[in-house]
Structure 1
Amino acid sequence: MILEVADIRIHPGQQAAFEEAIERGVSSVIASAKGFLGYSVNRGIESSERYILQIRWATLENHTVDFRESAEFANWRAIVGPFFAGPPVVEHFSLVSQSK
């Protein structure tokens, strides 16, 4: 399993609309992508325009090739992209340990 972590900054005052858009984008676009295993979204407390989107993928290539190189990626960006104050910072992680 690979964890994609996207650090997203949005335009001020757009939190409610962005949260609706990201939920719609995940459920209507990303959820049907090859290798998608689940996701979570967290909003910053100190910085309420900052969000951390975490998506679990079966493999790195499911995100970087299967999804990012598909037409569905453009659909995803059309839904959430207008809210971005700048490009998201995206990194991938592999699990080292976790609690039960």
Structure 2
Amino acid sequence: MILEVADIRIQPGQQAAFEAAIQRGASEVIAQAKGFRGFKVNRGVESPERYLLHIFWDTLEDHTVAFREGPLFPQWRAIVGPFFAAPPQVEHFELVTKSA
């Protein structure tokens, strides 16, 4: 399994609207993607305009090819993109160890 981590900065004062948009975009659009296994979103305590979006994929290609190059990605960006203060920073991770 691959973990995608997107570090998102939004425009000040848009938290409530962005949180509704990211929930809708992830549950209605990204959830349709091949290899999608789930997501979570965290808001910064010290920086309330900063969010970390974690999306779990079966493979790296499910995100980078099937989703990013497919028809769902523009739909996703249309929902959340207007809130971005800067392009999100995105990286991928593999599980090494975890607690029980």
Could you say whether these structures have the same fold, taking a TM-score greater than 0.5 normalized by the shorter chain as the test? yes
Task: State the match for 1:39 in structure 2.
Answer: 39
Q: TM-score, normalised by structure 1?
A: 0.99
- Identity percentage of aligned residues: 72
Q: Secondary structure at the match of 1:13?
A: coil
Work out the number of aligned pairs and report it. Answer: 100
- 1:71 positional shift: 1.2
Q: Shift in Å at residue 48 of structure 1?
A: 0.1
* RMSD between aligned residues: 0.3
Give the secondary structure class of the aligned counterpart of 1:4. Answer: strand
Q: C-alpha distance in 2, partners of 1:78/1:17?
A: 14
The answer to whether the aligner puts 1:74 opposite 2:74 as a matched pair is: yes
Which position in structure 2 is the counterpart of 1:2?
Answer: 2
Query: What is the TM-score normalised by the length of structure 2?
Result: 0.99
Could you tell me which runs of 5 or more consecutive residues in structure 1 were left unpaired when the two chains were aligned. Answer: none
Whole-angstrom distance in 1 between the partners of 2:85 and 2:43: 15
List structure 1 runs of 4+ shifted beyond 4 angstroms.
none
